[in-house]
Amino acid sequence: MVNKEVLKEIAANVQIFSDVEQKERFLFVVGALVSRLISLKKAAEIMGLEVEALLQILESMDIEFSYLSSEDIAIERSW
């Protein structure tokens, strides 16, 4: 199991938020979004942000997020 101190150190490096708990929550939300476990709306709710604000943060960090399935993304990129 990963040491909690290691996780806190990783979270501390997230530049967007000042509060370590909010940084940890953001990392969790990004993982859940990328894994398609939660919707963008739910992610924004968990973060206490508007959907557009969360999208702007994701974009500013070069985190790709798409509503499309993997197959849809492949088709769109081949156009």
d(CA 14, CA 27): 8
State pTM to two decimals: 0.69
> What total of structural domains would you count in the chain?
1
Q: Determine the structural domain holding residue 61 and report its residue range.
A: 4-77
Residue pLDDT, tens place only, 11-42: 666 667 778 788 889 889 999 888 888 888 99
Residue pLDDT, tens place only, 49-68: 999 999 988 888 888 777 66
